[in-house]
Amino acid sequence: MEVRSHDIIVLGSGLAGLRAAVEVARHSDFDVAIVSKVQLMRSHSVCAEGGTGAVMHPEEGDSFELHAWDTVKGSDFLADQDVVWRFVQAMPREILLLEHWGIPWSRRPDGRIHQRPFGGHSFPRGCYAADKTGFFEMHALYDTLQKYATVARYDECFVTSIIIEGGEFRGLTVWNLTNGEFFLLRGKALIIATGGACRMYGFTTYSLTATGDGLAMAYRAGLPLKDMEFVQFHPTGLVPSGILITEGARGEGGYLVNNKGERFMSQYAPSMMEIAPRDIVSRSMITEIEAGRGFAGVDGLDYIHLDLRHLGAERIYERLPMIRELAMKFNFIDPVFEPIPTRPAAHYFMGGIHTDIDGATPIPGIWAAGEAACVSLHGANRLGLNSTAECLVWGGIAGGEVVKFLAKQRSLPPPPSEGRFKEEEARIFGRFPEKGEADIYEVRRQLQRTMDKQVAVFRTGPELEAALDTIRELKASVPRLGVADRGRVYNTNLLAALEVENLLDLAEVIISGGLARSESRGAHARRDYPHRDDANWLKHTLAHHTSEGPRLEYIPVRITLWQPVERKY
């Protein structure tokens, strides 16, 4: 058994992982390994476009109370309010830390950091670097990490399992895609920062790599997943590719227009219009499309126009250059002269690995941060700007907590048995037949079609039941998946099989949680239960792995500041 050891393992090199690694490196001499299935700077976070939320100008009327209220109301009251309060207070410092680490924030003429409006925020709160915010945030963190000799990198290394024995973290099994090596990575502590799983949908804004591996591995290892039924649909996915057109485009003043030329949001959210929260805008767009007021697209992808023309060329060039480039390259449309075709696309997982307010999971030695975690900041519906922000805050918190933990945990926990390691090696490289009866890519297509059709913006009980049957059939076909490539080096065929297996496990959790939750709250909109039901459902779902499927239990929401009220915009 090949073994590597470090003090701390950060699994994932997106914003949350890098922020955690920086925190450890600047406060200790512990040696940190960052593991990523892609090259570090290819992590999904580089795609973040519109901005990061923080109260930066209280003298102009913004406040922690307002940011917290917007977040709690946006969450449809499912956010834990102590978590929200900690978050809003921590954010301005994160913006300034990035500033010190070199990020080129877009600025006002007087040199201060500029902020743009965003959905569900009652104040312009989005700090941004044009429309490439994630890229510049990643770069600032990456550059900062170069200062520390204590950080090792395992790029293009795919983690296949998280080993927990005796109730504690024992290591990761890792497949090095570049040379085929399979090894055990031991550490005293682990931070899981593996991002979301939106690639279970066909029409999605997400990178191809967002396959939820960390969530699925944690779930199978015994960590509960929380609130997984809440999947966010971003109103403006570019049709037909699904590429994101940032909410910043509407924050800058863009209009959503139906085929009658109407700005229909006046019917649904008269005070916030196009920058109402995403769940509301997405439902409004689908309602317009279903009523025949959309534009006809191919493959059922009917759409709504996002019109930026009135913003003028100069503003589009300065504030939304990448959006213009994307529309031009993928749709041959210049938004300076033509509206952009958009419709709601799967975009974000509000749910994730259950953690406490410090990012700690129930297993000693394991933390989770970023989109893979559910610290309960976003509840049933995340506001734009709050995800990159969460990655920064809880990446930092988890890093700091691990440093404290290691002051007590001085030695490595014992390794797992050689037998356990060999079993995992056989599961990865010896399980799939060369000529299987099931086709990986067809299984993935069926999964995506099912999720797109039956587990989308609006849901019903019968649709969810049908979707669950399909997912269980697809799961049963996994051992029969044919993997024609028998090599170990850059075997993308085998990788696709492992990723689809992870996505199927998570789809089962999402649908089971959604079927059980007989109410509509935030992004979970049930046509057969159209109202929020606080008496029965003001609670978090926890899903535990069993061989028969997820076992659900519920824990209370922490309400410290505001009682739930009707949500109007």
Ligand X SMILES: Cc1cc2nc3c(=O)[nH]c(=O)nc-3n(C[C@H](O)[C@H](O)[C@H](O)COP(=O)(O)OP(=O)(O)OC[C@H]3O[C@@H](n4cnc5c(N)ncnc54)[C@H](O)[C@@H]3O)c2cc1C
Q: Which residues bind ligand X (CB under 6 A)?
A: 11-17, 35-38, 43-45, 47-52, 133-134, 158-159, 193-195, 205-206, 209-210, 213-214, 244, 347-348, 370-372, 385-389, 391
> What residues contact 311, with CB distance under 8 A and at least 6 apart?
252, 253, 254
Q: Residues 382-418, buried b or exposed e (16+ Cβ, 10 A)?
A: bbbbbbbbbbbbbbbbbbbbbbebbeebeeebebbee
Strand order in the sheet with 151-154: 151-154, 32-35, 8-11, 189-192, 366-368
Residue 42 annotated among the catalytic residues of the structure: no
Q: How far is the CB of 17 from ligand X (least distance, A)?
A: 6
35 or 397: CB nearest ligand X: 35
Q: How far apart are CA 335 and CA 73, in angstroms?
A: 33
Nearer to ligand X, 503 or 542 (CB): 503
Closest approach of ligand X to the CB of residue 411, in Å: 25
Q: How far is the CB of 156 from ligand X (least distance, A)?
A: 9
> Are the C-beta atoms of residues 396 and 390 closer than 8 Å to each other?
no
Q: Taking a C-beta distance cutoff of 8 angstroms, is the pair 23, 399 a contact?
A: yes
> Token digits for 530?
């159209």
Contacts of 372 (CB under 8 A, 6+ apart): 12, 16, 192, 193, 194, 195, 196, 214, 215, 218, 352, 353
Whether the Cβ atoms of residue 4 and residue 35 lie closer than 8 Å to each other: no
Pair type for strands 151-154 and 157-165: unpaired
Beta-carbon contacts of residue 93 (< 8 Å; ≥ 6 apart): none
**Angle CA 317–305–202, to nearest 5:** 95
Q: What are phi and psi of 248, to 5 degrees?
A: -55, -25
- Cα-Cα-Cα-Cα dihedral sign, residues 235, 240, 243, 245: negative
Query: CB 519 → ligand X: shortest distance, Å?
Result: 26
Residue number, 384 or 413, with CB nearest to ligand X: 384
Q: Catalytic annotation on 114? A: no
Structure letter (DSSP) for residue 370: G
Q: Which is nearer to ligand X, 44 or 524 (CB)?
A: 44
Smallest distance, ligand X to C-beta of residue 172, A: 8
Map residue 499 onto helix, strand or coil: helix
- Rounded to whole angstroms, what are the CA distances from 6 to 184, 410, 535? 11, 12, 48
What are the respective helix, strand and coil percentages of the chain, to the nearest 5? 40, 20, 40
> Nearest distance from residue 200's CB to ligand X, in Å?
14
At 473 the three-state DSSP class reads: helix
Residue 393 CA to its chain's centroid (Å) = 15
Minimum CB separation of residue 162 from ligand X in Å reads 10
- Which residue of the set 186, 234, 319, 343 is catalytic? 234
Residue showing the smallest CB distance to ligand X in the complex: 14
DSSP assignment letter at 544 = E
Q: How far is the CB of 470 from ligand X (least distance, A)?
A: 25
**Residues sharing a CB contact under 8 Å with residue 473, sequence separation 6 or more, in sequence order:** none
Q: In terms of CB distance, is 347 or 459 closer to ligand X? A: 347
Q: Tell me the closest approach of the beta carbon of residue 246 to ligand X, in angstroms.
A: 6
Smaller CB distance to ligand X: residue 17 or 538?
17
Q: Which is nearer to ligand X, 160 or 454 (CB)?
A: 160
Nearest distance, CB of residue 556 and ligand X, angstroms: 26
Between 506 and 515, CB nearer to ligand X: 506
Supply the Cα-derived Rg of the chain in whole angstroms.
23
Nearer to ligand X, 183 or 529 (CB): 183
Whether the Cβ atoms of residue 527 and residue 555 lie closer than 8 Å to each other: no
User: Is 208 or 476 the residue whose CB approaches ligand X more closely?
Assistant: 208
* Residue tagged active-site, from 250, 283, 382, 526: 250
Give kind and range of the element (H or E) at residue 172. Answer: strand 168-176
* DSSP H or E stretch at residue 367: strand 366-368
Catalytic residue positions?
Answer: 234, 250
